[in-house]
A and B are shown apart, each in its own frame.
Chain A
Amino acid sequence: MIDNEADESDRTSGGAATPRRMPTQNLGGLFGPPNRTADLGSLARRATPRPAPTPESGTPAVPRPALAPVPPQADDASAPTPTPVPAPEPPSAPVSVPAAAPARPIEGGRADLSPTGTVRITAVLVSPAVADRLAKYRRGAADRTNTSIVLEAFDEQHQRVPELIARARAAAQPRGSLFPARDDTLHLPGGGGIQVQIRPTVAQLEVIDRITRENGLNSRSQLVAAVLNEFLPGRKDR
């Protein structure tokens, strides 16, 4: 009945029917993917504000702590190497070891619990700027991990390591002094207090450690940070 009435009203005075046009409606939203999360964030928030954490207890959510404590530079109490992991162990390797010496990790790493047992979880300390550049670079490709980036950086930059160290030594040389600066106070750009976790295999770690020893450094972390600083896109630490 309703249809008939509508038909009546749509007839012109001449009795001829004009084509009816249904008003356009935006149905796109109805068939689009449902927004399941729109209100959940606001539901999770409390109406009354939660007590703020006390300043001394506030721990900013920074990249996770080292799984194995990474020692700061030896004998360098003044170096700014804040780390969330207390009681770092002293460096366990001599400053310089002949290449023929049995290779062993310079710093402790945690053997992986995987059946192969060949992965060693360890951490390096980098500056906040290098940590940011690393995160940005990692997001550039789905298959990039901290570990793969470190290995890529070494592949590309290992020949420049002596130059980096020489530059750092020159910078550390006290002006007007006859005496060269101590190597254990050497500051390579790129290092800092942000911990970055990597999972190289034992064999990969040995290569990094060998380069570390060959260049007279006693900290793997220091070298990795410097190599990352040189390799990663963006403004380099100096």
Chain B
Amino acid sequence: MNVNPLSPPQDEAAFPHDRLEHVIALANGKGGVGKTTLTSNIAALVAAGGARVLIVDVNAQGNIGEDLGYTGRDEDDDGKGLVDAIRYGTPLVPVRDIGGRTGLDVVPGGAEIRHLPAHLFNLFADTGDLGTLALARCLLPIAGDYDLILIDSPPENRPLLQLVLGAAHWLVIPIRSDDSSRKGMQQVAFEFARMRRVNPDLELLGVALFASGTGARRIREDVRRDVLDDFGGQDFMFETVIRLAEAPARDARRRGQPFHELEVAAAAGPTPFDVLRGKADRSQMVAGTAGAVAGDLAALTREILTRRQERLPELEAATQ
């Protein structure tokens, strides 16, 4: 079935948002706060746990491809499939089992996404707020194939952010400890409130602190307090903090592997002793701290999924 986003807008109340209950968007108006890293790693972890997971990369940089190692390969279409689906209503067909990872499918992003905002301005002008459901409409036919769908959103791009929030049920906001990423969080909050008129099911799932030093306890407490204040006393922060670890972060992108795969590679790879004895090259080594970051990511994933499971009955009860 072709889902044509240009077709006359449906009645807002008739849009089956409940069929997208398992869609989580990661968004922050600021770049470099961990949206892509969290998206790729959470998705890969859940898929490795046996579920079927889809990543939708709404990002012109297409960094999900670097995280999962498919950049420049045959399956990397630079986002054209996604752009065509939104512009022309062609079916959204994900790349299956990306990089041989069973259960992990991807709709790639990339340079083609740059063509999308200009189209969206026209679409939104023609169809009003309901145009922001274009991605949601594209996802509907395939959403039932997945246990979880994660959407990586771009920074500082309002029309694309609206598109993402129109398709999501849950929002996770990654932040770093600087004030700029809190500003980015506030931008998302304003857009969130606006998008709720079109997508009344949209809910904030939580805020995740990303790349914070393990010794920076006071900074972490300050961030938690600031975020608490930002949300009027409601505690949306996840307990798990993803630690700052530059070496494994660099290795992960260079090798195109999520951290839990990197952890296995580090255990199987050469040791510093092998390098000293000339048995291996330094470039073959993988940072040993990958396992610690993988542990953080798994804990955060567990927390996100658990919170979603806890919130669902509350929301269902509230709507009955």
Contact = CB atoms under 8 A, between A and B. Distances in A.
A36 B81 CA distance: 33
Contact of A40 (B16, B264, B302): B302
B49 A41 contact: yes
Contacts of A157: none
A214 B73 CA distance: 30
A contact residues, range = 35 or more
A165 B255 CA distance: 44
B1 A45 contact: no
A52 B144 contact: yes
Contacts of B67: none
B contact residues, range: 35 or more
Interface in B1-45: 1-3, 16, 18-19, 21-22, 45
B221 interface: no
A43 B142 CA distance: 21
A37 B48 contact: yes
Given A61-B145, A67-B81, A40 B51 contact: yes
B142 A84 contact: no
A62 B93 CA distance: 7
A8 B90 CA distance: 82
A33 B3 CA distance: 45
A50 B77 contact: no
A65 B49 contact: no
A197 interface: yes
A36 B260 contact: yes
Contacts of A46: 21-22, 147, 309, 312
B147 A45 contact: yes
Q: Is the interface of A mostly helix, strand, loop or mixed?
A: loop
Given A36-B295, A40-B49, A197-B77, A50 B91 contact: no
B38 to A, nearest CB: 14
Nearest to B19: A51
Contacts of A29: none
B247 interface: no
B188 interface: no
Interface of B: 1-3, 16, 18-19, 21-22, 45-51, 53, 72-75, 77-78, 80-81, 84, 90-96, 100, 105, 110-112, 140-145, 147-148, 260, 263-264, 267, 291, 294-295, 297-298, 301-302, 305-306, 309, 312
Given A41-B46, A52-B144, A62-B96, 11 more contacts: A33-B264, A38-B49, A39-B49, A39-B302, A41-B50, A44-B147, A46-B147, A53-B145, A67-B80, A121-B77, A197-B77
